[in-house]
Amino acid sequence: MPRKVGDLKLYSVDDLHDMLGISKMTLRAYLREGKLKGKKMGVKWFVTEESLRAYFEQPEQEDKSAKQEKKYRYVVQGINDLVSETEECDTIKSTIECINSQAIISLFQVAVIDKETDEVIELIKARDFLERYNS
């Protein structure tokens, strides 16, 4: 049951789980990744009604991925001297395939690089990349 604090209506992970039928683990992952905006107080996450609206009004993830692929290239690379392999990919799909072809995924990371500036935008552990984009 949502909590009222003044004019603010706050939903816990348990509330959202009961209302939406989404697993608590998925909800917490969305909160950690910033897909769903919320605040952690103590050990509990809380989400406002406005944050829920914003989540459901934003465009689908596929649209974001398609736009991202046009802007970025992806370099799968070893994270230490034991693994010197590097492979460049143009799409998220080909990056996922490249990661999945590796024997030990934990030895790799993905550099997300802006195609125009060649600037590294983000370094992501290969396992985290798969969790983010492999749906």
- Residues sharing a CB contact under 8 Å with residue 92, sequence separation 6 or more, in sequence order: 65, 68, 69, 74, 133
> Lowest-confidence range among 20-34, 48-62, 82-96, 108-122?
48-62
Q: How far does Cα 4 stand from its chain's mean position?
A: 30
pLDDT, residue 60, reads 62
Tell whether 49 and 79 lie within a shared domain.
Answer: no
Confidence (pLDDT) at 70: 73
Task: Verify that 105 and 120 share a domain, yes or no.
Answer: yes
Whether 67 and 98 share a structural domain: yes
Is there a contact between 119 and 105 (Cβ–Cβ < 8 Å)?
A: no
Contact criterion met (CB below 8 Å) for 25 and 39 = no
Q: Are residues 66 and 106 in the same domain?
A: yes
Contact 76, 106 (CB under 8 A): no
Specify the amino acid at residue 42: G
pLDDT at residue 131 in the model = 92
Number of domains in the chain: 2
Are residues 49 and 98 located together in one domain of the fold? no
- The pLDDT score that the predictor gives to residue 32 is 85
Q: 72 with 127, same domain?
A: yes
pLDDT-based confidence at residue 81 (cuts at 50, 70, 90): confident
- Whether residues 29 and 67 fall in one domain: no
User: How does DSSP assign 14-69, residue by residue?
Assistant: HHHHHHH---HHHHHHHHHHTSS--EEETTEEEEEHHHHHHHHHSPPHHHHHHHHH
d(CA 129, CA 110): 7
Kindly list the distances between the CA atom of residue 131 and the CA atoms of 11, 75, 82, in Å, as whole numbers in the listed order: 25, 17, 24
Tokens of 102: 């590796």
pLDDT in tens, 87-133: 999 889 999 999 998 888 999 999 999 998 999 999 999 999 999 98
Please check whether residues 20 and 45 belong to one and the same domain.
yes
The pTM of the full predicted model, rounded to 2 decimals, is 0.49
Q: Domain end: 41, 57, 73, which one? A: 57
Structural domain including 90 reads 62-133
